[in-house]
Chain A
Amino acid sequence: MSEQFKQGVAELGKQIDAKISSYFSSCVHCGLCAEACLFYTETGDPRYTPIYKLEPMKKLWRQEHTIRGKLAKMLGLSKPLQEQDFADWEELVYDSCTLCGRCSMVCPVGNDITYMISKEREGFSRAGYAPEGLKGATQRALEIGSPMGVTLKTVLATLAHVEKNTGLSVPVDQQGADYMTLFSSMEVVNFPEYIESIARIFEVAGVSWTISSKAFEATNSGIQIGNSDNAAEIVGRVVTAAEDLGVKYVISPECGHAYTSIRWAGPNLIGRPYTFKVIHILELLEQLKRQGRIKFDGKTGEPVTFHDPCQIVRRGGVVEPQRDLLNGVAENFVEMADHGVMNWCCGGGGGVSANERADELRSKAFDRKRKQIEETGVDTVVTACANCRMMLEDGIEENEMETTVIGLTELIADYLVTDAKEQPEVR
């Protein structure tokens, strides 16, 4: 048994708090969580039942926290956890769980299974049983400041591109601005139009904003791999930057887990409340619309549907702003079945998209989303998460669907009324 594995088991033991103990002891083995998990529903493989993914943690809990388990261990009737257990379960813990939270929603006794899997990942990652893609992403996030190796110099090059194209100035390190904006590396690398869109929207709305040269990255690989120390380090950089600049708000971008990381997990990770508030970009845009600071000219005539990113909607609690915004710019907004808090994941959250080993399984799991989209009869899917967008586009191409995916913030910017207006009519 390696030293690293021992440390992993010790870490797993530390993660078994009162909540987890009560969850294990109250599980009624009903199997409802299976029907809520797209990895189970799309493969029919019972190994993908969410509660089953927790067997290693459950074994440790039984041996350490129940009388029967302690006795069995003492009498040699129950074996301690072996490296092979972690090796066998690594795929279940990382590849077949997007931390989407749907299983937690249906549990009849209220077990937050997603929370439990996050905690189980702490033990696995400490033991070294985590996907290589996530290990690399976390290392880059700590060393470079971005899981995708995006440096400040790269961000500034992208901002220069945005400034040139918009004729607007993108403020960096603006002391005393109201809002500090974060980006996900995906937006810098793949979707610079998001950055351009918020520059245009904020200009029109007169938002006082800035980007910090010390912390521009919103994503948090520490949360995905399950390493609280790393997650705290990454959150801490954002908090320090925001407090140094004296901003009132930090804006989480169109990225799902970035929002739950900075908005919900962050204060617990650093052990204190923030001196600023965190707001999701969709919440801010809806506020600006409500206050009349942004207006739209025309609407798209193309029927559209909306894919709810799990971490923003189900885990994050932002449900209505995107619908209000979408109704403002789309004449024919068609909801998917199970939309809102019960929507189905794209299949790539929770670090699954960064894990090449999981590609084949992810592709199978996408079938749920394919069916959902096809049922709407709509060819344009709007979403508000760069990762979801990539996963949707991958699945659409793979399934040869005639569907286009667009980001909501970009759609808003396309219909924005500006002074020098060259906005489209209904298309």
Chain B
Amino acid sequence: MSTRIQSGGRLIDRSRKIGFTFNGQRLTGHPGDTLASALLGSGQVLMGRSFKYHRPRGPVGAGSEEPNALMGLGQGAHFEPNQRATVAELHDGLAATSQNHWPSLDMDVGALNAAMSRFFPAGFYYKTFMAPRSAWKHVFEPVIRKAAGLGKAPTQPDADRYEYFYAYVDVLVVGGGMAGLQAALEAGRAGARVLLLEQTAHLGGRLLSDEVEIDGQPSDIWLAAAVAELQGMDNVTIRTRMMGAGVYDHGYVTGYERLTDHLENATGPRHRLWRIRTDRIVTATGAIERPLSFAGNDVPGVMLAAALRDYVTLYGVTPGDRTVVVTNNDDAYRTAIALKLAGLEVPVILDARDAAIGPLPRQARDLGIRVEVGKGVASVKGGKKVEAVEICSQAGEGTVLETIPCDAVAMSGGWSPVVHLWSHCGGKLVWDVDQAHFRPDASRPPTDHNGAGYVITAGSASGALLSGDAMQDAAAAGRRAAAEVGFIPSEGDAPTAMAEPEEPVQPVWMMPAGASYKLRSKAFLDFQNDVKVSDVQLAAQEGFESVEHAKRYTTLGMATDQGKLSNINGLAVLADSLGTTIPQVGTTTFRPPYTPISMGAIAGEARGAIFKPTRKSPIDGWHDENDAVWEPVADWRRPYTYRRAGETTEQAVHREIRNTRTNVGLLDASTLGKILVKGPDAAKFLDLIYTNMMSSLKPGRCRYGLMCTENGFLFDDGVVVRLSEDSFLCHTTSGGSDGVHAWMEEWLQTEWWDLEVFTSNVTEQFAQVAVVGPKARQLLESLGGMDVSKEALSFMGYAEGELGGIPARVFRISFSGELSYEIGVPASYGRAFWDMLLEKGAALGVMPYGTEALHVMRAEKGFIMIGDETDGTVTPHDLALGWAVSKKKEDFIGKRALQRPDMIRADRKQLVGLATEDPATVLPDGAHAVAGVNEYGDPKTIGHVTSTYFSPTMERSIAMALIDGGAGRMGEVLEFPVGKDSVIRATVVDPVFYDKAGERQDV
């Protein structure tokens, strides 16, 4: 049975015990254990249930490629599903729960699926569940959804923190095994800035399990020296528990560092996502062992041979006392030898090859282990645990020659280089016939902007599986990387690594070669998704010949291990079924990340209140202290209204409007976009950007300007102020400032780069306050300072001076129809200026107002609002703003488009006002007017409401709308169906409801 053994366990500290729970049961392990090794040490091989058939599963691997042993870890706000027990480091108090079963791991009702599996071959769901139609949504799909999924969904907001980190290096080495260390040594010694990543907690990779001889000494000595040398170099950084997650264009790499998952009481961020810019990437990512495809290869206790060896050597645990080893290569003999030396039984090594004559088989035989060549596994017996192995001839059809009782099986189908990072950005692969794997084609790397390859592979990731070759390859990779980034690498001999020579692997894609359907339908390729050899064969039979079709039809390689164990075996079965070769079939696309990374790490610190940092005006504090009802406007927050005790929001808005129209109101307009445009060609540039003529604007004057897209549609507006001959201040909408600034820069940088103009977004450099109402001038005069009389500062005029001792830019513009000044002061004076206005204005009845009062007042005046009256389909002419479109200018953005036939149609939608028949009835937002029937047989809409309010000033509802040929419909009564059998009737009127002559603002 699975147990802790007395020998081995170099990574664990046997002197200490730590407690953890598994499905509520209290167990113990040692510091250094993974959750998987601790469970094996506690007699627990069964660790999970598969996705489709709910078959009992134990760990098949010992690393990040694990498809079976997935657990929910943590509790409450720290719970996370689908974590690999094979990489989760044990800590005191760790709470683990197994997944995808009901009612329990041992007794899972879902396992009925397995009994019925003959009815559930690949893609069966495409062929059934079709009648009756509604049954899919209401019956079949809910059942499938419930059975699918793996771990439970987290229910609470995440209690942990995450962060980003940025790094810039010359050479990034991914992988801290022998090859990665050697490559880093070479690049580091040459002087390059090197960052070395290792996804586990330990440097050394397979050297930790499989000692070799390096320069005549045990590899542990070399390892310690290499690490010490690297740690001594200032230009080298080593990070463990950090995975190279994805390679992107131009040497951009994401690194995923797990900072606290292994700690009991963690402080600080849990994960850190590194964004690394590097000139060269050395991938020393090693190789992954392939399973063998025989019936029952998924029974708990069947493991990859090297993984089993790792458990024994690194953690001192074993899944069983009697282990049958089955292989097609020499490497797996190391497992048999390690088990034997640990005092465990190896009843037989089944070698599918015709002969086993290398030093490793010899060593095994010398230890007294029985070796059977040309043999394989017909079937593994056992349900939740291996009970026996039935032996057959590999060449045959599975006739059982002998049944050998055992409680574990170590399998090895050969090794495949980890090529993911090489492939993420387009590195190509080549099929290596001798080693039966895809390896990177060094002549076709992913390329940078200059056509140079920027990823170099090292060691077994290159396909150099033997230690001696791997060391040479890694040294060359490190030197090449250093040389390519401008350093002079060493030319001396690389260290010599020596391990036992190995005889060639012999590809075995099906065991036995002529396996019956019964065996093939129990031989698993993709463990988690329960894809069997028979499924891939069925896909081929049904014409899913492309590897992508076969993958999607069978779900091969779509599990959380993304095919790390299954893909090559699956490709081989597909190729065989189609009568073609593996390289002809090709691989599916490798996509980042290498193994799944937490969403939390991707989001970093940007969550909650700082998800998108709120832009705040310099006067924000006052609003906050004075009952502002907030409204998000782009990235800003603005007071919608200031609601006093006992008021409804609507009452507050109406109070603010009435006061502004009779006394004086204050609006914090600081969020309004302000872009400074300066230079000899500033006027020329703005003539191109705006539909209006801006070059004719005199210094000291303001002009309302419109901006159109290339398609002639209005997208932003605002007042342009000519500060001086060569400088303009362009106001934009609050939401539009960043976009407009980017728009200006795009044109300047890509089209009109010959213009001598600079632009600068000065939105946040100024606080801006609109002082609005009949008593506005009186209020400003009470501050003392510059002359704001009608004579000195007429409507649409601009002056600079001081008000109440504060430097001020004063614009006489009005968005309310009242006498109005907008005053820009340096941002740092904003609050002081606001407070001064409130203090001096108290006697005048001054009262701040919010965005809703602003909106209602502008609608009372028939002023348009970008985003309400415009929606990307509206021209200035549609809004009766044709006066702001210059006829004299040779060109401006949108000019040509505005001449297109559809843009000058007389019956385009045009802006009108609406007066409902019942003055108390307010039209709903976005209500549509209908008349007749359209080409689809639906009621024809002839327009829609764009702004609609109850006007406290007019004491009735008012609305603006865009109506087909609206300008010619004055007095017409339109019908707005607003619900079932509910129609509101409204008369088309002039959109200017209040002060049509415009007398109030020009006083």
A, B in one complex: no
